[in-house]
Amino acid sequence: MIFKINNIHFYGYLVLTLFLVACSDDFLEVTPKGNLIAQNVEDYDRLLDDLSLLTIPDVTIPLGDEVAAIDPFFSSEELRTRRLFKWEAMVYNEGQNSQELEGLMPIIYNYNKIINEVQEARNGTESEKLELEAEARVGRAFTYFTLINYYAKPYDPATASSDLGFPIVIENDITATDYTRNTVQEVYDFIIADLDVAVPYLSEGIDQRHRASAAAAEALLGKVLMFQQEFDLALEHFDAAIGYLESSSLDVALYDYNTEFLEGGVFTPIDFLFGPSSVLRQDDTEIIYTKEITNAWAFIRNELVITPETANLFKDSDLRLNFYSDTQFFGTEPFYPNGMLRKIGPFIQRVGIYLPDITLLRVEARARLGLLEDATQELEAFRAKRMSAEEVAVPTEIATDKDKLVEFIFEERLREFALSGYRWFDMRRLSVDPEYNDLVGYTHRLYNPEGEVLETFMLTKERFALRFGDVVTSQNPNLIENP
C-alpha cells in the first residue's frame, strides 16, 4: 500500500467533521445526535459504532514545545490558536464555552449510557452484554485519560492524592449540575479500574479498529502507568498488548516507509500541497484503537511549524520528512526560515491507541528499567521502518548509556510525532520526572519571514492545565478553577 494523495478520502473526512461539530452552553447538556432510546443489545452495539466517539479536540498541537509560529500568518489566526500558543490562562472569552468540553463530555455521556444500561437490554446474551460494557469502559477510560491531561496537573506520585483532577461522572444524566473535582489520583485509579474490569470480557485481538479489544485495553493500561512512572508494570501491560495483537483478524504492523514512498521516487506538485494521504481508519495497520483529531496544521494553515531545533533532529534520509515542507500552502518556493518546516499530512491525525506510540513507549519502559540491549534492538527495528538502512543504528555511546538512550528515545518521538499533538503529553510527564525534566522546553517563539524572533512566550507550571472557563464554573459553583 503506497502512500498517495486521495482527495475523495479528504473531502469525505471534511464533510464528516462539519457534520459532527456541535455547540452547547452547558457542561453536560450536549446530547449525542441520533436515537438514544436504546432497548435491545443491538441498539447499544450501534451506539459504539457512532463516529462522533472517535473525534478528539485538537487543543494539544499548539501547546507542544516543538512548535514555532510565523508571521504574518500567526497574527491573523483565530484567537484560540494564538492564546494556546502563547500559553495564556484565558483561552476563551467570557461567556464562551470550551471546545474541549463540548467535544469530550458527550462522549462520556454515551459511554456511561452503555455501561449503566446494557445489562438490562433485551434480545442479547450475557456474554454480549458484558463485552459491550467492557468496550464502553475502555472508551470511557481513554476519554478520562484525555481529560485529566487537559485539566489537571501532571501526575506526580508525591502530590497526586491532593492535586485537583477532573469530576468523575458515572451517570448518564444531562440534567445534573454542580460537579466537584476528584483528585488526580482518584481519576487515575478510576481509569485503571475501568480497564481492569474490561479486559477479561474483550476479544483479544483487533476485529474492528474503532472498537475496543483486550490489546487496546492493555496498551492503554501500559500508557497510563508510564504517566504514573510505574515503568515495570507498564512494560508488563505493553507486552500483554503485543501478545494479544497476534490473534487479530486484521493486519497490525508498522508501515515500512522505504516501501510506502517507493513509487515514483518524487512528489508531484499536488503532494506538496496535501502531503501523503493517510489510509482510511479501517485499513490503517498501525491503528490498535481509533481516536483521531482533524489537524488543520497539516493541511491549509501556515502559522505553526516545527522549530529549527526539531527540524535538526531529522537526518536527510529520514523518510518522515515526506510529511513536511518548506513551502506555505499553495506556495511553490521555500518560505520558512532557519530550517523550519510546515507539516503536510496526514490531515486526519491518529491519537488513539496507535502502534508507533505504543512501540516507542515500550522501548522507553525497557530503557528506564536498564534493559538497554532489548530497548536498542526494538528501537532500531522501529527506525528501520522509517529511514534508510545506513541511519538505523543507534550509536554505541548512546545505546550503552541509560540517560543518553532515554533522551534519544524522546528525540525519536519528536521525529515521529512532531506537530501532531503527542508532545504535550510527553512534556507534562517529563515536567514532573525527577531524572529527565530538563528535556522539556518552556519557550515558544514567534518569527518573521526573515527568521528574526519577534516575540518569546514562556510556559509556566500553572499552564500545564487548561482552565474550565466562566461558563462551566458559573454552572458548577463547587468546581474549583485552575489558576
Task: Tell me the helices (H) and strands (E) count for the chain, helix number first.
Answer: 17, 10
Residue with cell 518560505: 335
Residue-level pLDDT at 282: 75
Going along the chain from its start, the domains and CATH numbers come out as 7-254+352-475 (1.25.40.390)
Distance between CA atoms of residues 155 and 148, nearest Å? 9
Distances (CA, A) of 259 to 2, 195, 251, 322, 355: 7, 36, 17, 13, 18
pLDDT band at 277 (very low <50, low <70, confident <90, very high): low
Strands (E), 253-365: 287-289, 292-294, 304-306, 324-325, 342-343, 348-350, 353-354
Dihedral, CA of residue 372, residue 373, residue 376 and residue 381, to nearest 10: -150
Q: Are 405 and 267 in contact (CB under 8 A)?
A: no
Q: What is the mean pLDDT of the chain?
A: 90
pLDDT in tens, 131-182: 999 999 999 999 999 999 999 999 999 999 999 999 999 998 877 778 999 9
Is residue 67 within a helix (H) or strand (E), and if so which, with residue range? Answer: strand 67-70
- The helix (H) or strand (E) run that includes residue 363 is helix 355-368
Ranges assigned E (strand) in 225-368: 287-289, 292-294, 304-306, 324-325, 342-343, 348-350, 353-354
When pLDDT is averaged across residues 457-483 and rounded to a whole number, the result is 96
What cell does 443 get? 519557550
